[in-house]
Amino acid sequence: MLVGEIQAVPKATPWFPDQLEEATAASDRVILGVKAKFSPGDLFRIIFAGGKITRLPKDTLARDYLDETRQRRLGALEQKYEKDYSRSSFLMTSFDLLARRLGFTRDTGKDASDVVEKAARKAKVPTEPVGTMRGEDMLDSLAEAAPTTHLTCLDAAMTATEIGPELIARRGADWRAYDVPAVMANPLEQALGQCWPWADQSVGGELRGQWITAINRAAQLDGVTLAVAPLRVLAEPDGVLDRLETQGLVISGPEWRLAGSPSLPTAPDKPAIQ
């Protein structure tokens, strides 16, 4: 059983986790998100690489990397929110726009993984992370990325912020209603998917690969496995659901593709995954 999770479900869009708690208690095992492994050496990496992560390279400003349209849009947001993003890395600017200006991390409730983890502990159902990521790899990938690699993230973050907070409530309501295509088309969800770590070919690719491997493995086991995975990993084009379908597994649940998206060739049907 697959549960598609979104980050930061707003309290203004309440959902009722009773069925999820019951499904967890009835499962034989639970797979949760990736566990990051940080060593003492990683703390020094944060200290020494901090400037590379949070600021643009020395003696450069945002305008040195932005075309006229991007500079105009960013300038309008700076003026609106009385912020100076001229030296901030584009990733940090994007996170600030989404988390503080748009406010998608404010007034949030429990995520699906929180509910499942607590229910599994209560029912004594064994849990495991889908995999691990070394802090060294994650920090190195982030610190070494050129400023221009985050421009797509910046574009998407500016678009979501320009539209406004109504995106937050709409995304939560669509998720509660199992309208997966609407969630995936939401500019806020798109922005989160186009920023680090998901947009990073190395880190994002490994995260996706771990989910695909774990779910494929679980499909071969006896009993019921409940996995709580990021919705974008499940529903994005050539994501987990598309790949499972091409292997001949029957997907039982809400439609996940945007209207008009092509289906991929499939193998002969195998047991269903909900």
pLDDT band at 269 (very low <50, low <70, confident <90, very high): very low
Q: Taking 90 as the threshold, does the pLDDT of residue 240 lie above it?
A: no
| Contact assessment for residue 229 and residue 240, using Cβ atoms and an 8 Å cutoff | yes
Contacts of 66 (CB under 8 A, 6+ apart): 74, 151
What would the two tokens of residue 166 be? 């109504």
Q: Taking 70 as the threshold, does the pLDDT of residue 20 lie above it?
A: yes
Strands in 2-5's sheet, in edge-to-edge order, are 2-5, 225-230, 29-32, 127-129
pLDDT of residue 92: 93
Model's pTM, two decimal places?
A: 0.86
Q: Please provide the average confidence, as pLDDT, over all residues in the chain.
A: 86
**Closest Cα partner for 90 from 225, 6, 194, 179?**
194
Q: Which of 37-46, 122-131, 216-225 has the lowest mean pLDDT?
A: 37-46
| Contact assessment for residue 204 and residue 230, using Cβ atoms and an 8 Å cutoff | no
CA-CA distance, 40 to 20, in Å (whole number)? Answer: 37
Give residue for tokens 């200006």. 101
Tens-place pLDDT, residues 37-96: 554 454 444 544 556 788 999 889 999 999 999 999 999 999 999 999 999 999 999 999
Report which residue type is found at 110.
K
Pairing state of beta strands 225-230 and 127-129? unpaired
What would the two tokens of residue 225 be? 């496995």
State the burial class of residue 31 (Cβ atoms within 10 Å of its Cβ: 0-12, 13-18, 19+).
buried
